[in-house]
Amino acid sequence: MSGAGQSAGGGRAKLIARVERIHDHAPDTRSLFLSLVDGKYLRFVPGQFISITIPLGDEVRSRPYTIASSPEDRGSFEICFNEVPGGRGVAWLFERSVGDTIEFAGPFGSFTMEQVPQVEIGLIAEGTAIAPIRPILKRAFAASSIPKMHLIYAAPDQQHLLYRAELDEYARAEPNFTFEPVIAAADAIYDRLLELAQQRWIDADADRTRQFYICGVGKGVIRLRDLLRGSGYERRAVHYEQW
Ligand SMILES: Cc1cc2nc3c(=O)[nH]c(=O)nc-3n(C[C@H](O)[C@H](O)[C@H](O)COP(=O)(O)OP(=O)(O)OC[C@H]3O[C@@H](n4cnc5c(N)ncnc54)[C@H](O)[C@@H]3O)c2cc1C
């Protein structure tokens, strides 16, 4: 569970990808499907991100975007993002068209599951922060022994619960996987997630062997992390990525 960027072929060297396809999940949420212009496949570990160079005229930004697809999905790789109030970096990404090129470095990041743990796994995400969880889940499903996994995934409405059909299908096909979609007002999402985590993984039993993968935006992620760690789960068992 540590910096797999280099081992996955990443590094600071700049790479160039072409936009092959665009998919709109919702008016404010989009996926870009990218291919390296040199024809090679990007090597990465599920859960990693790339760092995109965003030239804005008055400044050049570098922003991380998680790879929402799996290494096994040969061909292009996917990033998924949403509009942010005042977010000029992501606004630039929304302006990209098919055929445009994007410069990036990576992959980077240690929010990964390189060894599938043989204990129960709790996964928590909201909105586009399902991006790292999606390939992590797929990796776990490919393990010779699939651990028991429960995903709590929240959004303000149905259209922002991304990859819903795919997640429902996993829940139907994989006896060890359960999926709990949650609709909550944007400003109440983390209160709801905290409540559900408390009920399911703290109050329900005394088992503290579980591992957790939490991804989301802002301080709510830290509140979830602290709730679980403060309730007896080991520090290193609670993996999190805060956007
Ligand atoms: C490791 C990592 C991986 C990330 N992966 C993704 C990804 O796959 N998809 C994605 O959409 N974003 C992702 N982000 C966030 C992304 O890098 C940018 O921060 C975001 O797009 C806003 O950048 P900006 O330059 O437009 O605005 P900024 O001016 O830099 O940000 C404005 C504010 O928006 C908040 N913010 C950041 N991301 C979001 C979001 N998704 N929704 C609402 N508010 C947000 C920030 O906390 C900041 O306060 C990731 C961040 C990190 C640290």
* Of 204, 203, 212, nearest in space to 233 by CA: 212
Ligand 1 atom nearest 61 alpha carbon: 25
Q: Can you give the residue range of the structural domain that contains 86?
A: 15-108
pLDDT at 105: 98
Compute, in angstroms, the gap from residue 119 CA to the centroid of ligand 1: 31
Hey, what are 124's tokens?
């928590």
Three-state DSSP string of the chain: CCCCCCCCCCCCCCEEEEEEEEEEEECCEEEEEEEECCCCCCCCCCCCEEEEEEECCCCEEEEEEEECCCCCCCCCEEEEEECCCCCHHHHHHHCCCCCCEEEEEEEECCCCCCCCCCCCEEEEEEHHHHCCHHHHHHHHHCCCCCCCEEEEEEECCHHHCCCHHHHHHHHHHCCCEEEEEEECCHHHHHHHHHHHHHHHHHHCCCCCCCEEEEEECCHHHHHHHHHHHCCCCCHHHEEEEEC
Last residue of a domain, one of 108, 130, 147: 108
Regarding whether 153 and 69 lie in a shared domain, the answer is no
Domain count, the chain: 2
Regarding whether 238 and 125 lie in a shared domain, the answer is yes
Mean pLDDT by 10 residues, the chain (243 residues): 40 90 98 96 96 96 98 92 97 98 97 92 98 97 95 98 98 97 98 98 98 98 98 98 98
Please give the Cα distance from 27 to 159 (Å, whole number).
10
* Of 199, 112, 188, nearest in space to 154 by CA: 188
Q: Is residue 35 part of a domain?
A: yes
Compute, in angstroms, the gap from residue 242 CA to the centroid of ligand 1: 9
Q: Is residue 2 part of a domain?
A: no
Last residue of a domain, one of 80, 108, 136: 108
Regarding whether 132 and 104 lie in a shared domain, the answer is no
Regarding whether 203 and 154 lie in a shared domain, the answer is yes
Q: Mutation test of ligand 1: which of 62, 83, 90 has the most ligand atoms closer than 8 Å to its C-beta? A: 90
pLDDT at 1: 31
pLDDT at 10: 56
Q: Mutation test of ligand 1: which of 30, 52, 63, 93 has the most ligand atoms closer than 8 Å to its C-beta? A: 63
* Binding pocket residue ranges, ligand 1, CB within 6 Å: 49, 61, 63-66, 79-82, 84, 86-90, 109, 128, 131, 217-218, 241, 243
Last residue of a domain, one of 73, 108, 143: 108
Its pTM stands at 0.94
Compute, in angstroms, the gap from residue 65 CA to the centroid of ligand 1: 8
Regarding whether 41 and 77 lie in a shared domain, the answer is yes
pLDDT at 7: 41
Residue minimizing CA distance to atom 21 of ligand 1: 90
Regarding whether 236 and 136 lie in a shared domain, the answer is yes
pLDDT at 224: 98
Q: Is residue 113 part of a domain?
A: no
Ligand 1 atom nearest 68 alpha carbon: 8
Q: Is residue 3 part of a domain?
A: no
The CATH number of the domain holding residue 95 is: 2.40.30.10
Regarding whether 102 and 125 lie in a shared domain, the answer is no
Residue minimizing CA distance to atom 30 of ligand 1: 87
Q: 85 Cβ partners below 8 Å, 6+ apart? A: none
Compute, in angstroms, the gap from residue 243 CA to the centroid of ligand 1: 6
